[in-house]
Structure formats: C-alpha cells, structure tokens
C-alpha cells in the first residue's frame, strides 16, 4: 500500500461489527481508568482475533512512581524493558516504551505494549491491530510505526496531540518504517463523554487544582470534521477534546491542562 493511500478513515469500516466488539473492550478499559482518577483512555491489542495486551492511562499514577494501587494494577506494572537480547543487525525495532520512572509517560498504549513484550517477540505486532478510545498521540503513533503495527482503530480525535491525522500524520509521513492504516469514529460519542466526565471532576493530583463545582457536563456532541491529514503542520479544526465542559453561566471553558491521551 502506497503512502498516498494511507489516510485516516472516518466513515464506513468493513466488518464494523467485528471491530466494534474489540472497541467495546477498549471502552471498558477507559472506564476503569476514569474510576481510577486517570484520564479515561483505554486500549486493547488484538492478534488473530484474541486480545494479547490491555492498557489504561497511568499518567497520574506514574507521577507517584506508579506504586501498586487500583490506579495502576500490578498486572499492568510489567517492567518496560525487553529482557531478550537482539542481534546487532536485527530487523526488530528496539523497545521504545518508556520505563516507569519517566513521569507522565505511562500512556495506555505503552502499558499494553509492556504486557505484550513480556510474553511475545516484537514481531507479533506486525500482525496485530490496536483498538484505542482516543487517537494515539504523536509519541505513541511513532512507537506504533516503529513496531510496524498492522492497523489502528480509535474512537475520538486527539486534536491537541494526535499523531494519526488529528494534528500530525506520523502514521503515514515518509520514513524508513512502513505506514499503517487508521480508522476513527468507533464509539466516538462514548469516548468523548468519558473525557468530559473526567474534566468536570476534581483532580486533586493536579499541580494547581482548579475548583470545578460550577462546571456542568456538556452532552451535545458536534459532527466530526474531516481531519487535514495532508497538512500535518496545520491544526485540525475539530473539537473532540476541547470545550469539554461548561463553566458558570453556560460559558464554554477550555481546560488549561491538556489531556494526557495515548
């Protein structure tokens, strides 16, 4: 498949019912993140119709060195270093997931990748699909490309840090690693509402917590705008993660702290 054909797809997806089944699992992971006071982003990696890795955002927990807790289950605390030694000229990508001490980088995709790497060689990702509630950020999109992920399916756009067409096209820009197809919009409304629920609640872990008692949950969801995937330097005019809550008097407020979405 040529780079010219690798674009984000919003619309009809072949065999949609099959893909929705796995996206529902990703939504369940995002709900777990929300209940753990984390930005509600969840994902699953699927190989041959089976889930081989699960992840939730753990950026808040990683700010506290990710000690074992409900926010960061022990099953998701696999050491993010690959114990298998690779030949010097191996075609396998170096493990690029971040270690626990890298504060604020424990995105859902990296948590799931750690689980996968503990059981499988990196090459398995070439025949694996990712289902994630929010478009992967630039950092995660690059990691997925280096691992040569087969395809990515997501819920809503990440219009601040999106690396798969929301802001930049890391998944398809010319480079050494093969591009991968991206399909968006699966359970988009559910993914957006989870984010909104997070932003209207108090975040006591924030450096400078802002009182949110006057915020009301915004339920209206606007239609998605077509991402400008051919102009990665231009911000996509979409509002997936912006204007997440209404302030006092009904005035829309944009959160000052960006979503730490994978």
Active site residues: 109
Query: CA dist 22 to 50, 53, 162, Å?
Result: 9, 12, 21
Q: Supply the DSSP symbol for 60.
A: H
- Token output for 144: 């997925």
Q: Which sign does the torsion angle of CA 60, 65, 70, 74 carry? A: positive
- Token output for 216: 């009301």
Are residues 156 and 240 in contact, defined by beta-carbon separation less than 8 angstroms?
yes
Number of H helices, E strands in the chain: 5, 9
Residue 105's nearest CA partner among 152, 167, 63, 166 is 63
Residue 140's nearest CA partner among 99, 176, 97 is 97
**SS3 category, 191:** helix
CA distance 32 to 56: 7
Distance of CA 43 to the CA centre of its chain: 7
């Amino acid at each position: 498949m040529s780079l010219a054909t690798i674009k984000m797809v919003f619309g009809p997806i072949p065999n949609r019912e099959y893909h929705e089944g796995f996206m529902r699992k990703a939504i369940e992971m995002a709900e777990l993140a929300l209940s753990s006071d984390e930005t509600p982003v969840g994902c699953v990696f699927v190989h041959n119709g089976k889930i081989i890795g699960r992840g939730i955002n753990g950026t808040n927990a990683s700010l506290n060195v990710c000690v074992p807790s409900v926010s960061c289950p022990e099953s998701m605390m696999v050491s993010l270093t690959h114990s298998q030694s690779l030949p010097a000229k191996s075609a396998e990508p170096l493990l690029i997931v971040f270690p626990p001490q890298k504060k604020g980088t424990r995105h859902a995709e990296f948590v799931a990748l750690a689980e996968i790497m503990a059981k499988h060689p990196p090459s398995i990702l070439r025949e694996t699909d990712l289902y994630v509630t929010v478009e992967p950020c630039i950092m995660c999109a690059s990691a997925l490309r280096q691992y040569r992920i087969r395809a990515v399916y997501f819920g809503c756009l990440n219009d601040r840090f999106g690396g798969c067409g929301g802001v930049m096209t890391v998944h398809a820009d010319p480079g050494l690693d093969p591009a991968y197809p991206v399909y968006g919009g699966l359970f988009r409304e559910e993914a957006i509402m989870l984010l909104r629920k997070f932003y209207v609640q108090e975040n006591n872990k924030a450096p400078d917590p802002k009182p949110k008692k006057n915020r009301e949950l915004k339920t209206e969801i606007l239609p998605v705008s077509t991402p400008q995937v051919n102009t990665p330097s231009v911000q996509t005019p979409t509002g997936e993660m912006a204007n997440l809550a209404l302030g006092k008097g009904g005035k829309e407020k944009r959160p000052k702290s960006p979503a730490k979405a994978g």
